[in-house]
């Protein structure tokens, strides 16, 4: 049995979902992979709980759910006021998990890699702006830097492009990478205005209070940028051409439907080119997704066309990608 | 640059397609992966061409296409009469590629693994009957044993199940894994009888002269057995319940279509259970494939439902899977 020490950064909904999977499937991971994961620290914005012998995940989940923040926990554990940089340097761990929304996390990702720690992340901006430095540093040090959950949640489109199809040359990727815009566009097809559909998405918790990241195509743009980096080499979000769904009229959406087509926020990725914009797709295309599904169509020289479709959002679904990467990293470093 | 020595067994249509990809993309593999592949032997049923310094692939392809067999090649190269067992033992190579149809190849796969050689194969019976011994031997010796191209050609369903979704527990796989039966069933929907559709498939080279492997579900059964091994642990084809499409009437197929459903040869794989039989699927299901596409729907505890669709047959498409595995093996052993 290989013991692997894990530092978890981010303890919102995704972080809690990851902790729950690590807790509930601990025996499965021991039996199937011979890996015993030990979470030595958990951090939210209020503080860092750190216990080198391993934190009781059931307890830390209970504290978070009861008090809303880790700093309220004063009984058995010390809560530290580390910055993430300090934490990745001071806390002895094999794998650092970043499931925060910290836009500046690339700095402490780099710090972790320089310490020889594997990094697993669902956090998009570090990759969308600093892919070359991060992956370069990881390769130089031969340390895993894994980010399956940044694109299409746990649906393994990154794994397919990064570790499979190794003999193929990718020509083009078309994908629907944002579920909130799919929800809004579906509702508009059913007769709602953009504003009504957005309000409904917000009241259901599908869109955030500030929906601009989804609606303006920024979230899809980050993801498309990451797909470009993996399939064609480094590029940054600044070079992506992104147009959101905010300018789309209900008439246009309904009219497309009357021609057996549907408007989706589509990402098109080719060498040197990242485009995100609303496009019509045929109803029998894999890109005509509904609900929280994402889809990608990958075109290559040998295989031709490959379509993958699966969850693009959701807590368990995102935890799926994070935890798969944690196991992958654990198997590589052990 | 890492030099990697390759022994190629099987030089029919798939073997030639693999050689062509290795030849045409040699520079791509050097630049992208830092790997220089050197083919030190090529074997067909007539003999083994062996040159430790590396065989000129352009020449060997020309000889094969001109004379139909390697033993006709008497100019620059020696042609040996090795059995595959002798060849894998005597020829110094890092990776053994088996793209033969040799039903008894598991014996020399084992011999190669015991010599510490990686094995890459598109040959199904060794896996469908001897998965546990073969993968067990490879794991014991920490040598890659890779077989992406045995199921869905280069469409990376094996890679997804074996090296991704590592945190998920697979509950069930449903898949359409044989393109010949899809062709025949599509033609029957259009009004042909089974016999007419089969004859057409044979005249187009889609079905073999002895079509029983496809029509009786044996090919799909092998593939479904391999999916079970990867997702749920070892099982053999003998335990699979397989029913072909030979008993299907044109009326049944056409009648299903009138209800927006289509009959396909569907594999259903659950823990301890492998079933292949004609089933009706809804026209909007990912399993309602056409032409040479295969599809698989993987259901898991965390991710929910994941669908992958892509080429399931074809020469370049099969070479895609074989060559991806060759690169994967080369990256691991170097």
Whether B232 shows a pLDDT value over 90: the answer reads yes
Residue B73: predicted pLDDT: 82
pLDDT, average across residues B91-115: 97
The alpha carbon of residue A167 is apart from the nearest alpha carbon of chain B, in Å, by: 5
> What CATH code is assigned to B2-153+315-333?
3.40.50.720
Residue B2: predicted pLDDT: 87
Mutant choice from A154, A167, A171, A286 vs B, greatest count of B C-beta within 10 A: A167
The CATH number corresponding to A2-152+315-333 among 3.40.309.10, 3.90.1150.10, 3.40.91.10, 3.40.50.720 equals: 3.40.50.720
Which residue on chain A is closest to B323 by alpha carbon?
Answer: A167
Residue A56: predicted pLDDT: 95
Whether B334 shows a pLDDT value over 80: the answer reads no
Kindly report, residue by residue over B42-60, the tens digit of the pLDDT: 999 999 999 999 999 999 9
pLDDT band of residue A206 (cuts 50, 70, 90) is: confident
Cα–Cα nearest to B40, from B68, B19, B71: B19
Per DSSP, which regions of B70-214 are E strands?
A: 79-80, 95-98, 118-121, 145-146, 170-176
Query: What distance in Å separates the CA atoms of residue A278 and residue A266, rounded to the nearest whole number?
Result: 6
Whether B74 shows a pLDDT value over 90: the answer reads no
List of chain B residues whose C-beta atoms are within 8 Å of the C-beta of residue A308: 306-309
Q: Which of B29, B307, B311 sits opposite A304 (nearest CB)?
A: B311
List of chain A residues whose C-beta atoms are within 8 Å of the C-beta of residue B164: 148, 156, 159-160, 163, 324
List of chain B residues whose C-beta atoms are within 8 Å of the C-beta of residue A153: 303
CB-based contact, A182 to chain B, within 8 Å? no
Window 130-149 of B: residues touching A by CB (8 A cutoff) are: 148
The alpha carbon of residue B38 is apart from the nearest alpha carbon of chain A, in Å, by: 15
Query: What distance in Å separates the CA atoms of residue B43 and residue B81, rounded to the nearest whole number?
Result: 10
Sequential DSSP letters for B162-191 = HHS-TT--EEEEEEE--HHHHHHHHHHHTT
Q: Which three-class secondary structure state does DSSP give residue A72?
A: helix
Q: A320 vs B168: CB contact, 8 Å cut-off? A: yes
Whether A74 shows a pLDDT value over 80: the answer reads no
Query: What distance in Å separates the CA atoms of residue A315 and residue A323, rounded to the nearest whole number?
Result: 12
Q: Which of A25, A302, A324 sits opposite B320 (nearest CB)?
A: A302
Residue A42: predicted pLDDT: 97
pLDDT, average across residues B276-295: 94
Kindly report, residue by residue over B257-269, the tens digit of the pLDDT: 999 999 999 999 9
pLDDT band of residue B141 (cuts 50, 70, 90) is: very high
Q: Which of B33, B306, B326 sits opposite A155 (nearest CB)?
A: B306
Which residue on chain B is closest to A22 by alpha carbon?
Answer: B167
Kindly report, residue by residue over A78-113, the tens digit of the pLDDT: 899 999 999 999 999 999 999 999 999 999 999 999
Q: A320 vs B300: CB contact, 8 Å cut-off? A: yes
CB-based contact, A1 to chain B, within 8 Å? no
Q: Which of B169, B322, B324 sits opposite A165 (nearest CB)?
A: B324
Q: A153 vs B286: CB contact, 8 Å cut-off? A: no
CB-based contact, A317 to chain B, within 8 Å? yes
Residue A141: predicted pLDDT: 96
Cβ A87 vs Cβ A97: under 8 Å: no
Which residue on chain B is closest to A21 by alpha carbon?
Answer: B167
Torsional sign, CA B78, B79, B82, B84: positive
Which residue on chain B is closest to A29 by alpha carbon?
Answer: B167
Q: Which fold has domain B162-311?
A: Dihydrodipicolinate Reductase; domain 2 (3.30.360)
pLDDT band of residue A183 (cuts 50, 70, 90) is: very high
Q: What is the ipTM of this complex?
A: 0.96
**Least confident range of A70-79, B50-59, B106-115, B309-318:** A70-79
Residue B292: predicted pLDDT: 86
Q: Which two tokens stand for residue A234?
A: 């480094």
Over chain A, what is the mean pLDDT? 96
Q: Which of B153, B305, B324 sits opposite A164 (nearest CB)?
A: B324
Q: Which residue ranges make up each domain of chain B?
A: 2-153+315-333, 162-311
Please give the angle made by the CA atoms of A236, A239 and A242, to the nearest 5 degrees: 110
The alpha carbon of residue A247 is apart from the nearest alpha carbon of chain B, in Å, by: 30
Cα–Cα nearest to A248, from A259, A257, A240, A260: A257
Whether B325 shows a pLDDT value over 80: the answer reads yes
Whose tokens are 């546990």? That residue is: B132
CB-based contact, A307 to chain B, within 8 Å? yes
Q: A302 vs B154: CB contact, 8 Å cut-off? A: yes
Q: B163 vs A159: CB contact, 8 Å cut-off? A: yes
CB-based contact, A312 to chain B, within 8 Å? no
Which residue on chain B is closest to A299 by alpha carbon?
Answer: B310
Torsional sign, CA A204, A209, A215, A220: negative
pLDDT, average across residues B196-220: 92
List of chain A residues whose C-beta atoms are within 8 Å of the C-beta of residue B154: 165, 167-168, 302-303
pLDDT, average across residues A295-317: 97
Cβ A96 vs Cβ A88: under 8 Å: yes
The alpha carbon of residue A184 is apart from the nearest alpha carbon of chain B, in Å, by: 22
List of chain A residues whose C-beta atoms are within 8 Å of the C-beta of residue B311: 303-306
Query: Any alpha helices (H) in B34-104, and if so which ranges?
Result: 57-67, 84-90
pLDDT, average across residues A124-142: 98
List of chain B residues whose C-beta atoms are within 8 Å of the C-beta of residue A28: 169
Whether A196 shows a pLDDT value over 80: the answer reads yes
Q: B166 vs A327: CB contact, 8 Å cut-off? A: yes
Q: Which two tokens stand for residue B76?
A: 């620059």
Residue A245: predicted pLDDT: 96
Whether A207 shows a pLDDT value over 90: the answer reads no
Q: What percent of chain B has pLDDT above 90?
A: 93
List of chain B residues whose C-beta atoms are within 8 Å of the C-beta of residue A142: none
Most distant CA pair in chain B, distance: 63
| Beta bridge partner(s), residue A49 | A42, A79
pLDDT band of residue A1 (cuts 50, 70, 90) is: confident
Which residue on chain A is closest to B322 by alpha carbon?
Answer: A167
Q: What percent of chain A has pLDDT above 90?
A: 93
Query: Any alpha helices (H) in chain A, and if so which ranges?
Result: 13-24, 26-33, 57-67, 84-90, 105-114, 124-141, 157-163, 179-189, 194-203, 212-215, 218-232, 250-258, 315-333
Q: How many CB pairs under 8 A join A and B?
A: 149
pLDDT, average across residues B158-169: 98
Query: What distance in Å separates the CA atoms of residue B55 and residue B301, rounded to the nearest whole number?
Result: 49
Residue A291: predicted pLDDT: 84
Whether B132 shows a pLDDT value over 80: the answer reads yes
Q: A165 vs B309: CB contact, 8 Å cut-off? A: no
pLDDT band of residue A285 (cuts 50, 70, 90) is: very high
The alpha carbon of residue B81 is apart from the nearest alpha carbon of chain A, in Å, by: 31
Over chain B, what is the mean pLDDT? 96
Residue A292: predicted pLDDT: 86
Sequential DSSP letters for A214-226 = HHTTHHHHHHHHH
List of chain B residues whose C-beta atoms are within 8 Å of the C-beta of residue A300: 320
Element (H, E) at B41: strand B35-44
Torsional sign, CA A162, A166, A170, A174: negative
Element (H, E) at B20: helix B13-24
Q: B303 vs A323: CB contact, 8 Å cut-off? A: no
What is the DSSP secondary structure assignment for residue A64, as one 8-state letter? H
Cβ A191 vs Cβ A93: under 8 Å: no
pLDDT band of residue A209 (cuts 50, 70, 90) is: confident
Whether A334 shows a pLDDT value over 80: the answer reads no
pLDDT band of residue A249 (cuts 50, 70, 90) is: very high
Residues of A labelled catalytic: 223
pLDDT, average across residues A12-18: 97
CA A68 to chain centre: 23
Query: What distance in Å separates the CA atoms of residue B278 and residue B244, rounded to the nearest whole number?
Result: 7
What is the DSSP secondary structure assignment for residue B94, as one 8-state letter? S
CB-based contact, B283 to chain A, within 8 Å? no
């Amino acid at each position: 049995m290989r013991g692997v020490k894990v530092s978890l950064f981010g303890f919102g909904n995704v972080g809690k979902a990851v902790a729950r999977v690590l807790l509930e499937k601990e025996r499965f991971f021991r039996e199937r992979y011979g890996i015993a994961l030990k979470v030595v620290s958990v951090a939210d914005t209020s503080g860092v709980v750190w216990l080198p012998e391993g934190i009781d995940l059931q307890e830390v989940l209970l504290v978070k759910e009861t008090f809303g923040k880790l700093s309220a926990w004063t009984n058995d554990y010390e809560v530290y006021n580390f910055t993430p940089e300090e934490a990745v340097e001071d806390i002895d761990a094999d794998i650092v998990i970043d499931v925060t929304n910290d836009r500046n996390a690339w700095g402490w990702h780099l710090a972790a890699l320089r310490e020889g720690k594997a990094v697993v992340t669902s956090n998009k901006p570090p990759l969308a702006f600093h892919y070359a430095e991060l992956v370069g540093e990881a390769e130089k040090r031969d340390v895993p830097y894994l980010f399956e959950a940044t694109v299409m949640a746990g649906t393994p489109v990154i794994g397919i492009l990064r570790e499979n199809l190794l003999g193929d040359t990718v020509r083009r990727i078309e994908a629907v990478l944002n579920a909130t815009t799919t929800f809004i566009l579906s509702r508009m097809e059913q007769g709602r205005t953009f504003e009504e559909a957005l309000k409904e998405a917000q009241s259901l918790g599908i869109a955030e209070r500030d929906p601009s990241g989804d609606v303006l195509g920024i979230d899809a743009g980050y993801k498309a940028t990451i797909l470009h980096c993996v399939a064609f080499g480094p590029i940054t979000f600044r070079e992506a051409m992104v147009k959101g769904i905010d300018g789309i009229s209900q008439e246009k959406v309904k009219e497309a439907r009357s021609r057996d087509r549907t408007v989706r926020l589509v990402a098109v990725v080719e060498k040197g080119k990242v485009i995100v914009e609303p496009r019509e797709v045929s109803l029998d295309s894999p890109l005509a997704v509904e609900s929280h599904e994402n889809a990608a169509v990958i075109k290559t020289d040998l295989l031709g066309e490959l379509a993958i479709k699966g969850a693009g959002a959701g807590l368990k679904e995102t935890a799926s990608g994070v935890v798969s990467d944690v196991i992958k990293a654990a198997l590589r470093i052990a």
